[in-house]
Structure 1
Amino acid sequence: MTTFTPPPDTAAWQHLAVRTGFEVVCFRSPPDGYRVEGCTTAVEEGEAWVVDYVIELDSGWATRSARLESRSARARRHIVLEADGAGHWRVDGAPASWLDGCLDVDLESSALTNAFPVHRLRLGVGAASPAPAAFVRAADLAVERLEQHYARLPDDGGRQRYDYAAPVFDVACRLTYDESGLVLDYPGLAIRAA
């Protein structure tokens, strides 16, 4: 089983290729899990946008809530996702049955959220698992179901590696993580800056 060191107080990623921008997060450790407060600012396809978020995770790293706000020249939006930790969700207070079975939130605007299933699953080398997620779009905060899959590879120089796939986006790549289980390199999307 995989073990991780505690997350750092802060982390940051520089976005590449798909968008130009930056993400910064701060970790808090209440007694019953983690609270992540973050912000991504980016320019994508000529449009500048900002997404602020606060995500609450239980002690097993399953998402319990996510509060997001996006701002762009077109609009300002807010959304609240709540999860019971057993795969049932509410979006802005309404049941979201299309997310049944998801235990993680995955933000399109974030490199951080790929840490959640890795922490929650704690896969040993050679193990693999599906990890469907409540996927939140950056521009309009639309919530979709995202089917994704993680497969643990042997470590490389102390860095954990996973083959990651999200077929709906035609994404298949190798993600590299640090000892605290945060993404160091997401090919074509982001690299860890701090």
Structure 2
Amino acid sequence: MTGTTLFAPPPLTAAWRHLDARTGFEVAYFHPLPGGHRVEGCTTAVEDGHTWIVEYRIDLTPAWATRTAHVTCRTSTGTRHTILESDGEGRWRVNGEHAPHLDGCLDVDLESSAMTNTFPVHRLTLPVGAEVQAPAAYVRALDLTVERLEQQYVRTADPGRRYDYFSPAFGFACRLTYDESGLVLDYPGIAVRAI
């Protein structure tokens, strides 16, 4: 189900403090593009004794489906780069190679980012009580491997723009709270908005 957005345009910048699962900080910048949006950001973190930096540049359609994602990770063992490209209809290439395991995904979801949970809710217009499956191309933080991640969003109530989120692969469920621009304010166990 897609349609007119429930959200205002994003601010110029937003930031999140990561907690519990990792210690770190994420900053993102939002740019309007002719025919879409661009988000550029960076997360620095310590997780399970590992330090890492993940930088990203994600281009989106006007409906917030992912077109491309350029992701770079730096760790103590070196630097890695991954490029994801989508036709906007659920077919993907990863580093130039067709990735059929991602067929049907419209969003990229970075393990390193709280911001990327913005894309499905911004892209979909869900009435209160509605639920949707929103599988994503999931990019791991440390090695940038790309997996398919099944996800479900259920819009719970207004005001407050809250969604129940489920990720069966991780046995994870929480209630996500978004601001008027559709950016995550509270991602329990993962991150909270700093600005």
Normalising to structure 2: TM-score of the pair? 0.97
Matches within 5 A, 1:61-100: 61-100=64-103
1:114 alignment partner in structure 2: 117
| Cα gap change, 1:53 to 1:60, in 2 (>3 Å) | same
Structure 2 spans left out of the alignment, 5+ residues: none
Q: Distance in 2 between matches of 1:93 and 1:23?
A: 28
- Cα shift readout 1:78-110 (whole Å, capped 9, x = no counterpart): 010000000000000000000000000000000
1:28 alignment partner in structure 2: 31
Give the 4+ runs in structure 1 shifted more than 2 A. Answer: none
Q: Distance in 1 between matches of 2:9 and 2:144?
A: 29
Q: What SS is found at the alignment partner of 1:168?
A: helix
Q: Quick one: which amino acid aligns to residue 178 of structure 1?
A: D
Matching residue within 31, 46, 49 for 2:49 = 46
**Identity, % of aligned pairs?**
64
Q: What SS is found at the alignment partner of 2:33?
A: coil
C-alpha displacement of 1:3: 1.4
C-alpha displacement of 1:122: 1.7
C-alpha displacement of 1:31: 1.8
Matching residue within 135, 142, 146 for 1:132 = 135
Structure 1 spans left out of the alignment, 5+ residues: none
C-alpha displacement of 1:2: 5.2
Q: What SS is found at the alignment partner of 1:162?
A: strand
C-alpha displacement of 1:121: 1.1
Aligned residues between the structures: 192
CA-based RMSD of the aligned residues comes to 0.8
Residues 131 and 149 in structure 1, CA contact (< 8 A), matched pair in contact too? yes
Residues 2 and 123 in structure 1, CA contact (< 8 A), matched pair in contact too? no
1:161 alignment partner in structure 2: 162
Residues 134 and 152 in structure 2, CA contact (< 8 A), matched pair in contact too? yes
Q: What SS is found at the alignment partner of 1:140?
A: coil
Q: What SS is found at the alignment partner of 1:59?
A: coil
Q: Distance in 2 between matches of 1:81 and 1:51?
A: 15
